[in-house]
Amino acid sequence: MIQGIIGKKIGMTQLFTDDGRVIPVTMIQAGPCLVIQRKSVAGQAPRAQLGFVEPRQVKNVNKPMKGHFAKANVPPTRRLREFTVDEAGPELGASVGVDIFSESEIVRVCGTTKGKGFQGVVKRYGFAGGRSSHGSMFHRAIGSAGSNTYPGEVIKGKGMPGRMGGRRKTVRGLEVVKVDKERNVLMVRGAVPGHNGNYLYVLKDSRKRS
């Protein structure tokens, strides 16, 4: 059994339980993926490289990658990722779908957060800012950045304006609410990083969110 799959974020919706409670869920197009390569290194768990199959054709594949896909006898894919697999896992060229997950299973999702560009400390860190009265000259500024004499430098870790978002983030302890095997759609409880259409990596996890 392989321990993860490549997916793409579709968006968020909500489901209703039998007792009328609302559950916010994220829909993920999890697969289908093809096994491009199998790796086995001494002292480490076996790994398998998956390629995410998309409707549109992949063009401009260089010669090394063409040979890489030809060894597995599979068409070129745009997104590749390695996952841990056991000895009885899928063979080279096999298809991996959303059926590797089951309802009520705990997973972790890795993705890239939304990029928000260069932002100030009020938006980036939630600083309160200064007075909003006219002429205060201190509305959304960072305030004092360091001491004067000792240590005479900006303390490490000080919140400063800068690039916000666009970083790798992993959300753990997400519960699988529904598995649609026909459409390869995975519904997990809660939000996951990134915008709609963002590539995600869904992995099996054992730690449940408190």
Q: What is the pLDDT of residues 117-161, one digit of tens each?
A: 999 999 999 999 888 899 888 899 888 888 888 888 888 889 999
Pick the CATH number of 4-115+169-204 from 1.20.210.10, 3.40.630.10, 3.40.50.720, 2.40.30.10: 2.40.30.10
Mean pLDDT of the chain: 89
CA distance linking residue 2 with residue 83, whole number of Å: 7
Mean pLDDT along residues 167-178 = 93
- Domain ranges in the chain with CATH number 2.40.30.10: 4-115+169-204
**Phi and psi (nearest 5°) for 67?**
-65, -35
Give the pLDDT score at 203: 92
The answer to whether the CB of 189 falls within 8 A of the CB of 25 is: yes
Tokens, residue 107 = 């997973």
Mean pLDDT along residues 191-200 = 94
